[in-house]
Chains A and B, each alone.
Chain A
Amino acid sequence: MMPSLGRMVAILSMVGLILFCGQDWVAAADRPADAPPLSPVELALTQVASEDESVRDTAIRTLVEQGDASLLPQLEAIRANADRSIRQAIKPLMDSLKNRANLKSPSTDVRRSAATDLGSAGKAWAIPWLEAAAANEPNKWVRYTMEESAALLKLALDDQTIKAAAAEKLGELYSQNGVPAMKKLVAIGESAEATEPQKIVAKAAAEAIHRIETWGDWSNAIETFFRAMSLSSVLLIMSLGLAIVFGLMGVINMAHGELMMVGAYATFVTQEIFKAYLPPSMFESYFLTAMPVAFLTAAAFGLALEATVIRFLYGRPLETMLATWGVSLVLMQAARVYFGDLTAVIAPTWLSGGAQVMVGVYLPFNRIFIIGLSIICVLAIYLLLFRSSLGLRVRAVMQNRNMSSCLGIPTRKVDAYTFAFGSGLAGVAGWALTLVGNVDPGLGQNYIVDAFMVVVTGGVGKLAGTIVASLGIGGLNKLIEPSFGAVYGKVFILVLVILFLQWRPSGLFAMKGRNADS
């Protein structure tokens, strides 16, 4: 809709513009002679808020070609006073300029997100910027994003040869983002009135899509595997302490989850102390400091629990379960009353973010850390059980309590230490879990039933059982989650565990003995 000349002039003069509308935009001829001549950019700035769409578009074009991010404050000011349609017109311009500047940012993340934004904004003017930036880009993944964005933009151009080349490029890049647009191109190519070049483009796009989807299946498989490993590690760290205590004393500690919560809160308190009393430069090291703190705090809680409750229930595992459940309720409520519900641990910078190993495969550092931690825990327990004198005694008591007692092993002391050690492991698990979730009183409850299942499936007294069971349950969980959904996946696993126990009633690696009860 073209407004009339007179009305436009009135509006223009109202906003203080002194210029003349013509077919070609000649720098204002009748402006006061004393003012210095306007540069094209300055002129465009004055015109960008014009009601006339063609005027506005030309101004935006000029600003894109010649302007830079230094114009942003001025544009912002114009935008603040303009009405809605003009604001909407200026917004992409500002975004483009901002992102263009960000392409040169020292931070890889900023560069990368700027490239992504430019690609999704769909403004063809960004193609040369992206290509120029990609040529000088040192980081592989940022360069990848820049190339991908440029190709995406080219895909939207009118020239069919460029389109076909862009599709091929996207195929080479295994770009998931390009698939929707290319599917449209394929559809166009298949329609009855498609021209020959369009068909060529469609062919190129179809090939690219096939390539991308094959790659996507692979990368999905890898990511699923990684997620499964990560969940298995969480389960493993949680179950290790539980399993050792179960193996030694035949007791499932229902307060295990709350001992994890104790470890998580110990981490939180350590963080707060670092924040309050130590210089900020040392803050980063709080996380590693918190590990022994979490271990010792949870171990102390465990020792107290053993001395006050469990010791008196020896040989009555069901009663022990109930009593420890009571303790868990008390601990949970105590945490709720004392800490409240909102506490979060800030992950140290070296654990935030992640590594991109392949196109479409992104591995977060905190998950990698947890996988590593679970391996370290297993090694530590192995060393403790099989290379230390305490471990020797623990194994002796596990095999035959009465006999060990006769041979002079202080079985009750072994129980107490083992229980404390198992609790300490729970504390370490809680410490690690602060990386993947909030610290709240319900922290222990989230995974604990799964951990019980791991212990039951794994069987008593063998480290390998726990490892295999947590790999199995964690892995299956993530494998069937995409097709069944999280809830039915859990139900399915319960059914599997019950069926599995049909075959092996006391878990994977049961202690062999001549006892008819076992």
Chain B
Amino acid sequence: MMASKESESLAPGGGGLAFWVVGFILLIAMPLLNVLPPEDSWLHLSDFSLNRFGKFLAFAILALGLDLIWGYTGILSLGQGVFFGLGAYCMGMHMMLTIGKESVYGSDLPDFMVWNQVKELPFFWKPFYSFPAAVIGAILVPMLFALVFGFFAFRSRIKGVYFAIITQALALAAWLVFNRNDTNLGGTNGLTDFKQLIGYRLSDPGTQRVLYIVTVLCLGGAYLLCRWIIRSRAGRVLVAVRDSEQRVTFSGYTPANYKLFVFVVAAALAGLAGMLYAPQVGIITPAQIGVLPSLEMVIWVAVGGRASLAGAVLGAVSVNYGRSILTNYFPELWPFILGGLFVVVVLLFPDGLIGIMRKMKERMRMGKAAAASEGKR
């Protein structure tokens, strides 16, 4: 039943136009609205808004990966925050090192190390002097980590609730470790106070604009990658694993390999998201990688619509937009709304916003068809 619905949405053609329209708005219209209209014009998009939107789009990249693994393959990972954090910390470490003498204590070492009386740069910080190494690390480190973790998890056929619990424990453990001072990752305060990225000042709106555009391009690339995976033969196996792993096994496939593959891809996308997040937000702390943030990521996908790539992007942007508005005006209310979202979406709208939109389209088409048939009569 699910499979037949899936093949519909997988069919080529539909959504192509929407991709280009959304791409145009995000990539060209929004930066232009930021630059061209005068500041007091209603068309003007403030630097703050553009930057905030860039952050949401970085989250959307992560949501795409999570959708691959949860929506399409049916594996609930409650530890995506860890991979996000690994990517963000890799980039954050690079930016900490480029602060150089501008830091509060004027030392070559990051401030928190001076504070913790660390005399020499720990060995694992050293590669991050180089920008390319940081970019590669931000994607490769989460992938490697996911490869090892996933290998052991999928090899022994840990799945379903078991896998969710194990990944949640992973998120808790990572949060605990990142919070420590003796791991030399900044402890509770995380990494912050970044000054520049490859020579460009982060406080300059122009730099942020470029970062935004890079984020949009990465999101587009990630979307195309995911779509390509979904439409490939491997993608069909992934959906089959979700719907009946047993039958996949009996058909001669090894589900564990496919699962491991998609888990690693999701981790890479989460790392990429973290890498783009850190310079735009200017801080990365353990609070972004714990149990609760990892669960919130799942709700982005659920709200947008599982097993729909557009839904993942839509969910990540809309939930975070709602969060940023609501926590501003009603900070006490947000946990109620977030909790309510979990319940309501799961109970009433299992296909999320995309599902609602599809249904409305269907209604309209049915209505038109009915009207047409009546007109004929």
Contacts and interface: CB of A to CB of B under 8 A. Distances in A.
Interface of A: 246, 250-252, 309, 312-313, 317-319, 321-323, 325-330, 332-334, 337, 449, 452-453, 455-456, 487-488, 490-491, 494, 497-499, 501-503, 505-506, 516-517
Given A321-B161, A337-B332, 11 more contacts: A313-B347, A317-B160, A326-B338, A326-B343, A327-B342, A449-B168, A456-B162, A456-B165, A494-B169, A498-B149, A505-B158
A337 B176 CA distance: 27
Interface in B122-179: 149, 152-153, 155-158, 160-162, 164-166, 168-170, 172-173, 176-177, 179
Main secondary structure of the interface of A (DSSP, over half): helix
A322 B176 contact: no
Contacts of A332: 335
Nearest to A495: B173
Contacts of A334: 336
A490 B342 contact: no
A323 B343 contact: yes
Contacts of B291: 449
Given A318-B76, A491-B177, A333 B335 contact: yes
B298 A333 contact: no
A312 B347 contact: yes
B168 A452 contact: yes
B96 interface: no
Contacts of B197: none
Contacts of A452: 165, 168-169
Contacts of B169: 449, 452-453, 494, 497
Given A327-B343, A491-B176, A494-B169, A318 B160 contact: yes
B341 interface: yes
Contacts of A329: 335-336, 338-339, 342
B299 A319 contact: no
Nearest to B302: A322
Contacts of A455: 165
Interface residues of B, number: 44
Interface of B: 74, 76, 149, 152-153, 155-158, 160-162, 164-166, 168-170, 172-173, 176-177, 179-180, 245-246, 249, 291, 295, 298-299, 302, 332, 335-336, 338-343, 346-347, 350
17 contacts: A251-B161, A312-B347, A313-B347, A318-B160, A322-B76, A322-B295, A322-B299, A329-B335, A329-B342, A330-B340, A452-B169, A494-B170, A498-B152, A498-B153, A501-B156, A501-B162, A503-B156
Nearest to B299: A322
Contacts of B295: 322, 325
A516 B246 contact: yes
Nearest to B341: A326
A506 B342 CA distance: 27
Nearest to A503: B156
A227 B126 CA distance: 42
Contacts of B180: 487
The 7 closest A-B pairs by CB, nearest first: A326-B342, A329-B339, A333-B335, A330-B339, A326-B343, A502-B156, A326-B339
Contacts of B336: 329-330, 333-334
B76 A321 contact: yes
A497 B346 CA distance: 30
A321 B350 CA distance: 14
